[in-house]
Amino acid sequence: MTARAHGSDILVVGSVAFDSIETPSGSVERALGGSATFASVAASYFASPRVVAVVGEDFGDEHFARLERRGIDTSGIKRVPGGKTFHWKGRYHDNMQDRDTLETRLNVFEGFDPGLSERFRRSSHVFLGNIDPTLQAKVLDEVEDPRFVGVDTMNLWIAEALAGLKEVLRRVDVLFINDEESRQLTGERQVLNAARAIMTLGPKYVVIKRGEYGALLFGAELSLFAPAVLLPRVVDPTGAGDAFAGGFMGFVAGAAEITRSTLARAMRAGSAMASFAVERFSIDGLLELDSSRIGARLDDLESMCSLA
Amino acid sequence: MTARAHGSDILVVGSVAFDSIETPSGSVERALGGSATFASVAASYFASPRVVAVVGEDFGDEHFARLERRGIDTSGIKRVPGGKTFHWKGRYHDNMQDRDTLETRLNVFEGFDPGLSERFRRSSHVFLGNIDPTLQAKVLDEVEDPRFVGVDTMNLWIAEALAGLKEVLRRVDVLFINDEESRQLTGERQVLNAARAIMTLGPKYVVIKRGEYGALLFGAELSLFAPAVLLPRVVDPTGAGDAFAGGFMGFVAGAAEITRSTLARAMRAGSAMASFAVERFSIDGLLELDSSRIGARLDDLESMCSLA
């Protein structure tokens, strides 16, 4: 809803990490992960992502290559000589929802100081992955007049960096958050009230992520729902929320304008990308897609929702 | 999908009870409740329910009158002289989902022996509320060639009367069950697999109730989703599942034929009726509705799901 020319570029800022994960379906060691990784790969099917992140010297050329093959601009991923990449180690419970963090080594991520190139500053769309709100704000300071900004957050920042988070929320178009976090942030039990309370903090839209139960989008006078794709098997839920946000933001970035229909379709795109993410470990489920496989999932979602 | 003439009558068998309930929103003493009560009142907006149940002498004419004002045929509700009506006492936790049963007095319900009048035996549609599978089977033995049969059950019967429950499942068109019970019954974690496993036991359709997360219907080559209506306030979740089933079954009974579209609309009708049920204690939220209030909720659901 702006006269500005349509741009399908999307700046993605967040973590690029190695994940070591055990789930009831198996395990994986030091696999490519992180919020910026999942979000940018998911977005890459709808728009042109550029990533800002930091990695260590152990992040090999082959890892860059995997992202680049998806058309992702990795020039903003800073490789720190002698440094080690952020490493998260976790184990999921049998319900595939609860998980225990076994180890978190921030490594080079501890000193992450996102700086944007001239070109990146002119990004039309921005997705701020789940990082310290201070860093999210710094990125927003550098981007020139973005058309649409999405932000993710988590319980940690709500508990320990609330003032900073609220500063960021004043400056974004959409917040991605889960049910539990939305209650923590607002004190409201009912999702409708929580979403309304969040919108008073700044975001025009709130997306409530509910895992296998789908996701809701709220705006002024607007409530949209997208179911989760029904899957016979979930291998690893890690990155599902980031893939959802990436699919959503990528779809919006690739759309000519932001209408109700754009948002409804973006929700379905997010749901589809999340479903691919959880079917395999790491980003493996997101790498070899095409418009026909994505379209089949979108058709499934339409069929689930349609009255016809 | 039968040549049999369309009939909009629906036989509802289950409990008629007094509930004493505490929720974070308030409390109520000896209020009209029970599965047959909620289901028949919800169904009454779409079809003509007839109830088979048992109550005590403490079940006054005023209680019968409340049901009859909804056009419900109460001639099958047997009042036992000197007996006391089934009384359930419970308290909900702050999350409005978990609850503790404080007291269960089966009273006359312990000797419930559903017998059908000649007229009731010719019911075209049947909803078997959550009672002992032996009694559900007895009702099915008596009904002559029903067009569509729905059944509800619970964890207790899955644990303690599994063989009887499986006998019933072989004879019904649709099972209403929640996520947790579907896992208990099948051992399958993923809802898609649980539903498929249940269909091999007999039901053509399975409706998985997920409370505030909506509900799913599965059939052969068919998956339908209905979101829950977004409410600013929930007063008492008791009876939501029964109201859902009643709305669904009533809608099916009122439909000329059972098509994909009928089932999709029935899911939305169920969701709408469940939403009215939880807004007030007892059946108060379900009594004073009309087609415009129900239509407004159905419009809300359509709006949430639509891509337009």
- Looking at the complex, does the CB of residue B224 fall below 8 Å from at least one CB of chain A? yes
| Yes or no, beta carbons of A191 and B212 under 8 Å apart | yes
Output phi, psi for A177, to 5 deg: -155, 155
Sheet of A205-209: strands edge to edge? A73-80, A48-56, A9-13, A125-128, A148-152, A174-178, A205-209, A215-219, A222-226
Residues of B in contact with A225 (CB under 8 A): 214, 227, 304-305
Is the separation of the CB atoms in B224 and B215 below 8 Å? no
Is B223 an 8 Å CB contact of chain A? yes
Is the CB of A223 inside 8 Å of chain B's CB atoms? Answer: yes
pLDDT tens digits along A216-263: 999 999 999 999 999 999 999 999 999 999 999 999 999 999 999 999
ipTM: 0.93
Taking CB atoms and an 8 Å cutoff, what residues of chain B touch A304?
216, 223-225
Q: Per the CB < 8 Å rule, is A230 touching B189? A: no
Residue B97's pLDDT is what? 86
What is the C-alpha to C-alpha distance for residues A209 and A177, in angstroms, rounded to an integer?
6
Contact of B296 with chain A, judged by CB distance below 8 Å, is answered with no
Q: Which residue of B has its CA nearest to A269?
A: B307
CATH code matching the domain that covers B9-305, chosen among 3.40.190.10, 3.40.1190.20, 3.40.50.300, 3.40.395.10 = 3.40.1190.20
> Residue ranges of chain A with pLDDT lower than 50?
1-6
Is residue A165 helix, strand or coil? Answer: helix
Q: B-chain residues within 8 Å CB-CB of A193?
A: 232
A:B CB pairs within 8 Å: 79
Q: Taking CB atoms and an 8 Å cutoff, what residues of chain B touch A237?
A: none
For residue A213, the 8-state DSSP code is G
How many angstroms separate the CA of residue B84 from the nearest CA in chain A? Answer: 37
User: Closest Cα of chain B to A51: distance in Å?
Assistant: 30
CB distance B32 to B74 below 8 Å: no
Does any CB of chain B come closer than 8 Å to the CB of residue A192? yes
- Judge: A223–B231 Cβ closer than 8 Å, yes or no: no
| pLDDT for position B7 | 65
Asked if A268's CB is within 8 angstroms of B304's CB, the reply is no
Looking at residue A5, what is its pLDDT? 39
Q: How far apart are CA A128 and CA A36, in angstroms?
A: 8
Rounded to a whole number, what is the distance in Å from the CA of A227 to chain B's nearest CA?
A: 7
Q: Which residues contact B58 (CB under 8 A, 6 or more apart)?
A: B18, B84, B85
Give the chain A residue nearest B269 (alpha carbons): A307
- Which residues from chain B sit within 8 angstroms of residue A271, using beta carbons? none
A308 and chain B in contact, CB less than 8 A: yes
Tokens for A189, please give them: 């039990």
The DSSP secondary structure of chain B, one letter per residue, reads --SSPP--EEEEES--EEEEEEETTEEEEEEEE-HHHHHHHHHTTTSEEEEEEEEETTS-HHHHHHHHTTT-EEEEEEEETT----EEEEEE-TTSS-EEEEEEE-GGGGG------HHHHT-SEEEE-SS-HHHHHHHHHHS-S-SEEEEE--HHHHHH-HHHHHHHHTT-SEEEEEHHHHHHHH--SSHHHHHHHHHTTS-SEEEEE-GGG-EEEEETTEEEEEPPPP-S--S--TTHHHHHHHHHHHHHHHSSS--HHHHHHHHHHHHHHHHHHHTSSTTHHHHS--HHHHHHHHHHHHHHH---
Q: What is chain B's pLDDT, residue by residue, as a tens digit (308 residues)?
A: 333 334 689 999 999 999 999 999 999 999 999 999 999 999 999 999 999 999 999 999 999 999 999 999 999 999 999 999 999 999 999 988 899 999 999 999 999 999 999 999 999 999 999 999 999 999 999 999 999 999 999 999 999 999 999 999 999 999 999 999 999 999 999 999 999 999 999 999 999 999 999 999 999 999 999 999 999 999 999 999 999 999 999 999 999 999 999 999 999 999 999 999 999 999 999 999 999 999 999 999 999 999 99
List all residues 6 or more positions away from B5 whose beta carbon is below 8 Å from its beta carbon: none
Give me the phi and psi of A261, to 5 degrees please: -65, -40
In chain A, the residue whose alpha carbon lies closest to the alpha carbon of B215 is: A213
B101–A contact, CB cutoff 8 A: no
Q: Where in chain B are the domains?
A: 9-305
Chain B contacts of A189, Cβ < 8 Å? 94-96
Query: Rounded distance, CA A204 to CA A201, Å?
Result: 9
CB contact under 8 A, A225 and B227: yes
Q: Using the beta-carbon criterion (under 8 Å), do A265 and B307 form an inter-chain contact?
A: yes
B298 touches chain A (CB under 8 A): no
pLDDT, mean over chain A:
96
Q: Return d(Cα A8, Cα B237) in angstroms, integer.
A: 45
What's the confidence (pLDDT) of residue B296?
Answer: 98
A5-20: pLDDT as tens digits: 346 899 999 999 999 9
Q: What is the pTM of this model?
A: 0.95
CB-closest option in B94, B210, B302 to A213: B210
Considering only the beta carbons, identify the residue of A191, A223, A305 that sits closest to B225: A305
